[in-house]
Amino acid sequence: MITKPTTHNMIREAQKHLGNDVSNKDVKQYCYENYGVSPMSQTIYSAIGSEWSRAAENISAKELVDSKKFVKRTFKGDKEKAHLAIDLIGQLT
């Protein structure tokens, strides 16, 4: 008899496969495609923490402070404009 892994284990498997800073949307998609289950955001939080904290693990405090200064200086504090610029850079590389 084949047993299905628990939802928490499915979520952890998605994180292992997709990377530490995986978004909740990607976790849900992975679980649905591989197990036919789409976990709730609260379950994902319970299993691997918040999306924000997972992303923050990849950025040092110095990088965060430097980025904040850069956005303030270059984009006059307009975070949306800075975000668009970063997205464009990501598409060009």
Label residue 2 by pLDDT band (50, 70, 90).
low
DSSP class per residue in the chain: -PPPPPHHHHHHHHHHHH-TT--HHHHHHHHHHHHS----HHHHHHHH--HHHHHHTTS-HHHHHHHHHHHHHHSTT-HHHHHHHHHHHHHH-
More confident residue, 62 or 55: 62
Which amino acid is residue 32, in one-letter code?
A: Y
pTM value? Answer: 0.64
More confident residue, 5 or 57: 5
Q: Rounded to an integer, what distance in angstroms lies between the CA atom of residue 13 and that of residue 30?
A: 9
Residue pointed to by tokens 């923490």: 49
Look at 8-12, 60-64, 79-83 and tell me which has the smallest mean pLDDT. Answer: 60-64
